[in-house]
Amino acid sequence: KKHYQEEFEEKFDLPHLKDVLDVQPIPTTFALKSRGSQVLDGTNLSTKRSDYVDNDDRALLKVIKYSSPTSAGAECIDPDCSWVEQWVHRAGPRKQIFFDPKDVKAAIVTCGGLCPGLNDVIRQIVFTLEIYGVGEIVGIPFGYRGFFDGNLQEIPLSRHVVQNINLSGGSFLGTSRGGASVGDIVDSIEAREIDMLFVLGGNGTHAGANAIHNECRRRKLRISVVCVPKTIDNDILLMDKTFGFDTAVEEAQRAINSAYIEARSAYHGVGLVKLMGRSSGFIAMYASLSSGQVDVCLIPEVPFKLDGPFGVLEHLEHLIKSKGYAVVCVAEGAGQELIEKPDAKDASGNVVLGTSASTSSRRSCTAEFCLAPIWIKRHFKEVGFFADVKYIDPTYMIRACRANASDAILCTVLGQNAVHGAFAGFSGITVGICNTHYVYLPITEVIASTRQVDPKSRMWHRCLTSTGQPDFM
Ligand code: ATP
Ligand code: MG
């Protein structure tokens, strides 16, 4: 048997307020089982409860043992591919906390694009803060903008206010891109006397939250900044999945099925569905796998060519001739290397993907074919063939959905654990599910790069087996 403490490799130390401030722990007041409206006194609870999480508890990051580098493939985590145990901090309520709940003002902010489950997370953060005994909880409207736009007012939050917000999609607090300098945001946090900031957002938002955390440390402020990753694309490193992804894949089925019906019912029909995924093709891959109706799946991680032998268009022609129709699922960022880059950025500094239909060369236009079915038709006309292309972009319908059952549960656990993390005194962390366990990770680790589909992974190969598509290069 392995020893619990000795033989594992510690991974990802979490930044804690006590690293930089003189803060003392107090017994928790979190009542794991509330009794009606009575808030239980933590001193009575602590001796009876064994279900607090200890700061030394760890979850194993990966549970697989490879026999050789060949079988490990890209998964290999050390040069010899020997067994490396990496342990990360378990999330959950601590016996000792670093904030007195009655003195806490907590704020929640949501940034970036919409994602199913945002309201579920907001709701659970509010519920859990109340169970700890926090009296002042506010929502910052419209992302980081709410910190500096004088026309926007804080939204008071309570169980009563958020009780039913999970029944609809979107963000109850509103969201936005772009924003002020980190210094201005921290000025605003200080002026509002916020002690805990819960930040829901993607990579950009996490980078912002980490900068806020660092600025708070520089100013020696006793403020905890805790993130909950929001990315419908599932592109955050290390995590099994992020909330909203399951719902997105499920909703995408409806679009794919419609594309199939349109294609199947038309003479030489092609059903084309564009799904989210600027740089990671997880939604397109999983939706293609689960629907079973997709003949061609194109993702940003796997280059392809359109024209000529072994190109996508030749394969579509083959599919139409052999079975009468074709269904294509394209991730938003697929084939970017074929497109003339507009070199533009949005309000948050994200690269704007090539979408212009005004380009003149045949090559750049066909490369955008996920946005311009006209080019597929034109191609077939040129080679004396006919195809009837139906194009579906369900992006905004998917983003605006409410979370499905499995995402709602994920959101519940993440929201609750975010609050536990803040009370435990951590700051500059994010919460996630790794290897089926709920854990805390330093923000810096999850935003080091974008998580992408590995073209050599078994999952992508399963997808290719399912669609039956060739290698388009
Ligand atoms: P999505 O997945 O929808 O793109 P996101 O969180 O990445 O979500 P962004 O619009 O990129 O969304 O960023 C959200 C907020 O984070 C914006 O207000 C932006 O100003 C801020 N932000 C982005 N990158 C940084 C950064 N490197 N440092 C500080 N703030 C940032
Ligand atoms: Mg972003």
206 alpha carbon to ligand 1 midpoint, in Å?
7
For position 401, what pLDDT does the model report? 97
Q: What stretch of H or E contains 72?
A: helix 69-72
Cα 344 off chain centre by: 24
- How far apart, in whole angstroms, are the C-alpha atoms of residue 3 and residue 25? 28
Ligand 1 atom closest to Cα of 115? 3
Half-sphere exposure of 34 (CA within 13 A, CB side): 13
CA dist list (Å): 153 to 165, 177, 212, 224: 19, 18, 20, 22
Segments of 164-304 assigned E as strands: 196-201, 224-229, 269-275, 296-298
Segments of 230-358 assigned E as strands: 269-275, 296-298, 325-331
Question: 36-40, 54-58, 88-92: which has the minimum mean pLDDT?
Answer: 36-40
**CB-neighbour burial class of residue 358 (10 A; exposed 0-12, middle 13-18, buried 19+):** exposed
Q: Using CA positions, which residue lies closest to atom 27 of ligand 1?
A: 207
Q: What is the pLDDT of residues 263-304, one digit of tens each?
A: 999 999 999 999 999 889 999 999 999 999 999 999 999 999
Half-sphere exposure of 355 (CA within 13 A, CB side): 9
| Whether residue 195 lies in the annotated active site | no
- How far apart, in whole angstroms, are the C-alpha atoms of residue 34 and residue 116? 28
For position 83, what pLDDT does the model report? 54
Note whether 132 and 101 are within 8 A (CB).
yes
Marked catalytic residue, from 233, 295, 388, 407: 233
Q: What is the pLDDT of residues 435-472, one digit of tens each?
A: 899 999 999 999 988 899 999 999 999 999 999 999 98
Half-sphere exposure of 11 (CA within 13 A, CB side): 21
Instruction: Work out the pLDDT band at 187, boundaries 50, 70, 90.
Output: very high
Label the pairing between strands 96-97 and 196-201: unpaired
Q: What is the pLDDT of residues 51-70, one digit of tens each?
A: 789 888 888 887 776 666 66
According to DSSP, the residues that pair with 106 across neighbouring strands are: 137, 196
For position 78, what pLDDT does the model report? 53
* Residue 79, number of CB atoms within 10 A of its CB: 7
Residue type at position 223: I
Quote the tokens at residue 4.
């619990």
Residue 75 has pLDDT above 70, yes or no: no
Total residue count of the chain as it appears in this document: 473
What percent of the chain stands above pLDDT 90?
65
For position 367, what pLDDT does the model report? 38
Instruction: Work out the pLDDT band at 344, boundaries 50, 70, 90.
Output: low
74 alpha carbon to ligand 1 midpoint, in Å?
29
φ, ψ of residue 399 in degrees (nearest 5) = -60, -30
Mark residue 143 as left, alpha or beta (left: phi above 0; alpha: psi -120 to 50; beta: remaining): left
- Find the residues whose C-beta lies inside 6 A of ligand 1: 111-113, 143-144, 177-179, 201-205, 207-208, 211, 231, 348-350
Q: What is the pLDDT of residues 102-130, one digit of tens each?
A: 999 999 999 999 999 999 999 999 999 99
Helices and strands in the chain: count of H runs, count of E runs:
16, 16
For position 47, what pLDDT does the model report? 39
DSSP per residue, 133-182: T--EEEEESTTTHHHH-TT---EE--HHHHTTGGGS-S-TT---S----H
According to DSSP, the residues that pair with 226 across neighbouring strands are: 198, 429
112 alpha carbon to ligand 2 midpoint, in Å?
6
Q: Look up residue 13 and give its DSSP letter.
A: P
For position 379, what pLDDT does the model report? 79
φ, ψ of residue 203 in degrees (nearest 5) = -55, -45
Ligand 1 atom closest to Cα of 143? 18
Q: What is the pLDDT of residues 355-373, one digit of tens each?
A: 433 333 333 333 344 446 6
Q: What is the pLDDT of residues 232-270, one digit of tens each?
A: 999 888 899 999 999 999 999 999 999 999 999 999 999
Instruction: Work out the pLDDT band at 473, boundaries 50, 70, 90.
Output: confident
For position 3, what pLDDT does the model report? 45
Mutate to test the pocket of ligand 1, among 109, 111, 176, 399 (most ligand atoms within 8 A of CB): 111
- How far apart, in whole angstroms, are the C-alpha atoms of residue 23 and residue 182? 25
For position 356, what pLDDT does the model report? 38
Question: 70-74, 193-197, 200-204: which has the minimum mean pLDDT?
Answer: 70-74
